[in-house]
Amino acid sequence: MAERVLQGQPDIVLTLRRSARARRITLRISSLDGRVTLTLPTHVAEREALAFARQKEPWIRKHLAARVEDVRVGYGVALPVEGRDRTVVAGSGRAVCLGDEALAVPGQPDAVARRLQGFLKARARDVLAAACDEYADRLGRAYSGLSLRDTRSRWGSCSSAGRLMFSWRLILAPPEVLRYVAAHEVAHLAQMNHSPAFWAEVTRLHGPYDTQRRWLRTEGNALHRFRFGD
């Protein structure tokens, strides 16, 4: 990979990536760090790719300007947990305490983000497992396992072997959004596609989902702005 610059106010750094699998030139802006990646097929000249980027420059600048700044997690930060803002404060004892208005984290200040991330992952696993158990029982099919990741491109997935994967950051979303994603992936146990039959299964398991799906499209990327030092 190489880096090139689109000069302007401000300059835009482009990461050039060649791919033998690429069929055309594509642009991607990371929701996590704002990195602009220009992917081009192996046979395409670099000047052609840069010309493409210059043509798309207004689009790039628009999306970079709209990107929410990262928030480094620590004392005083308002962190959404289950869709409700809680202020991170110093705690006592040994365990993180989730209150109505605050997240009390004991220990040294430089360990707050790490401890909080561990707490959120554990809570996400508990809440997602409970939702998936409920929906799988309603569906009449069992899943083979459940794992958590910090994925950029998807909130969940279901493998052909019935293994479910979710982004742990769903615990930062409103509860009904998390439950919709759980129902979506459990529905794949019966329908490994996105056919009308699949969406009918999601509706049967969860109920109406348009509001939750729209929330993920408009607000979901903002959940990635919280940085835990990882």
DSSP H helical ranges for the chain: 46-55, 57-66, 112-139, 175-187, 196-206, 210-219
Strand 163-167, strand 145-149: pairing:
parallel
Q: Which residue reads 């529905």 in tokens?
A: 187
Which range of 33-37, 89-93, 206-210 scores highest in mean pLDDT? It is: 206-210
Say what the pLDDT of residue 213 is: 93
Which range of 26-30, 34-38, 131-135 scores highest in mean pLDDT? It is: 131-135
Say what the pLDDT of residue 64 is: 79
pLDDT over 60 at 200, yes or no: yes
For residues 34 and 135, the model is more confident at 135
Lowest mean pLDDT of 28-32, 113-117, 118-122, 179-183, name the range. 28-32
Find all residues with CB under 8 Å of 173, minimum gap 6, and list them. Answer: 80, 82, 83, 215, 216, 219, 220, 223
**Which strand ranges, in their side-by-side order, compose the sheet holding 78-81?**
78-81, 84-90, 102-105, 97-98
pTM to 2 decimal places: 0.74
3-state helix, strand, coil in the chain (%, to 5): 40, 25, 35
Decide if 60 contacts 36 (C-beta within 8 A).
yes
Say what the pLDDT of residue 33 is: 63
pLDDT over 90 at 152, yes or no: no
